[in-house]
Amino acid sequence: MTPKPTAADSALEAFSSGNAIRAQDYLGSHAETRDGTAGYVFRVWAPHATAVAVMGDFNGWDQTSHPLELVKNGVWEGFVPGLKRYDSYKYAVTARDGRVLAKSDPYAFHAETRPGTASKIYDLGDYQWGDQGWMAARKANPIYQHPLNIYEVHLGSWRRTGEDTFLSYRDIAGYLVPYVKEMGFTHVELLPVTEHPLDASWGYQCTGYFAATSRFGTPDDFMYLVDQLHQAGIGVILDWVPAHFPKDAFGLYEFDGEPCYEYADPRKGEHADWGTRVFDYGRYEVRSFLFSSALFWLEQYHVDGLRVDAVASMLYLDYGRQNGQWCPNMFGGHENLEAV
């Protein structure tokens, strides 16, 4: 008799087939108890890797003491007992050429503050929301049925306490909410709050698609900002960047030593204008990653909408490329059918 698939089996199948919309509930780090011992289970997709281990504060960043096992379809899994919130970690990913790459977790909910690049264990779900009235009204009255007056905000520069000091999400709430309310805006549009490495940027080269940047605080702190805006009757829209990602060595770039999240063909995978990599929209696991990221911000953080950045670069294979630098689709056209 064939055993009934477990929830983990079903989640893996959905991820591998491009149908996962909450892949972060399976991949990443999650609290679990095994054989009476509390700890965290780690799962990561690294299809070309010959070995993967988790390393961090808990083992002196040893690359071999906590190996993961290959489960199926390029997903590796392992359990580490005794871990706690805020513990930092990375994956030690052994490529087929023997290199060992130190990678942050693509599905992490929190990260070290720059210049640190490690992921941090963080359990979501503890925050006590106070925006029930807003959420009920939003459901009854869809956003597109009313006029919008949107105030665009870059949290890193809108207000500062000093040249090198940022306000926290909670501090920003105290200034931003009354200002936007007084000026008569219906919504704020936040430039990317997904984790990114460079302070001088606006956040459009993301390295953490499930992590609110730690520059301004914790995930709960960002929830507080959204909550306060909602309680004041102000909607929240996030800029979200599914078009490309940077080449920082700790991030998605050639995650297991070879293209995983990006197209392998440089005529599709390299974005010369920005020096970034283009997501491989034809790969099922990448679709699951992006679908899940988009829904994650809407569900987990009560965000009211997403402004998708750089759409033209997603839709057209010849965007920013000269003749001979791009490859046509199966019909000979310049539309990226996989992105469409």
Q: Region 237-260: what's the mean pLDDT? A: 98
- In 3D space, the residue among 319, 315, 293 whose CA is nearest the CA of residue 306 turns out to be 293
Query: Is residue 171 classed exposed, middle or buried when 0-12, 13-18 and 19+ CB atoms within 10 A define those classes?
Result: middle
Where do the domains of the chain lie? 7-120, 132-315
Give yes or no for residue 234 having a pLDDT over 80: yes
Mean pLDDT value across the chain: 96
pLDDT-based confidence at 160, cuts 50/70/90? confident
User: What is the pLDDT averaged over residues 279-300?
Assistant: 98
Cα 236 from chain centroid?
18
136 three-class SS: helix
Q: Is residue 38 pLDDT above 90, yes or no?
A: yes
Q: Note the pLDDT of residue 1.
A: 60
Q: List alpha helices for the chain, DSSP H.
A: 7-16, 132-140, 155-158, 169-183, 219-231, 266-269, 284-300, 311-315
Predicted TM-score (pTM) of this structure: 0.96
Just give the CATH number of 7-120: 2.60.40.10
Res 151: pLDDT:
98
Query: What is the mean pLDDT of the segment spanning 121-144?
Result: 94
Among 76-80, 145-149, 288-292, name the one with the lowest average pLDDT.
145-149
Bridge partner list, 69: 77
Q: What is the mean pLDDT of residues 306-319?
A: 96
Range 80-87 average pLDDT: 97
Choices 3.40.190.10, 3.20.20.80, 1.20.58.220, 3.40.50.10140: CATH for 132-315: 3.20.20.80
pLDDT of residue 2: 64
pLDDT at site 146 = 87
The pLDDT value recorded for residue 100 is: 99
- Which residue type occupies 310? A
Out of 58-67, 142-151, 307-316, which region has the weakest mean confidence (pLDDT)? 142-151
At 201 the pLDDT is 86
Residues 40-62, mean pLDDT to the nearest whole number: 98
